[in-house]
Amino acid sequence: MSYQQTIDISTRGRGTTEITTEVSKIVRASRIETGLANVFVLHTSCSVILTENADPSVRRDLETLALRWAPDGDPAYQHNNEGDDDMAAHGRNILAGSSISVPVSKGEPLLGTWQGIYLWEHRTHAQRRSIVVTVLG
């Protein structure tokens, strides 16, 4: 059995937006009791991540790390069609990933106590993002 739905999210630019509630609603709507939920973003300059949801400083520190891994405006970048953050955003997507898979148990995403699902926007300006949630069981 499978179920699929798309979430559209407006970001405010670089940073994280929690989508745990939206993903949980889709998992419940699927009526699948045991299985796997895949959360996949349809873009190459943002990521979907599973990270701590209790202390926001964790997500701020992740942004600090990303600035080190893929700095904006590096003169070595050849791809900068959409600005100094363009290639850095693509690099961060490769490092952080485009999808996660979460077990489904008793009709709910099986997350740890401090885990949340986030859209991580890598561009500096507001964007509209589409995320596909596929539940299999």
Residue 25 to residue 15: CA distance in whole angstroms: 23
pLDDT attached to residue 113: 95
pLDDT attached to residue 108: 98
Decide: 48 and 134 in contact? Cβ < 8 Å.
no
Statement: the pTM of the whole predicted model exceeds 0.75: yes
Q: Is 106 exposed, middle or buried (0-12, 13-18, 19+ CB in 10 A)?
A: exposed
pLDDT attached to residue 17: 98
pLDDT attached to residue 97: 98
Residue 34 to residue 8: CA distance in whole angstroms: 26
pLDDT tens series, the chain, 137 aa: 999 999 999 999 999 999 999 999 999 999 999 999 999 999 999 999 999 999 999 999 999 999 999 999 999 999 988 999 999 999 999 999 999 999 999 999 999 999 999 999 999 999 999 999 999 99
pLDDT attached to residue 119: 98
pLDDT attached to residue 135: 99
Decide: 97 and 49 in contact? Cβ < 8 Å.
yes
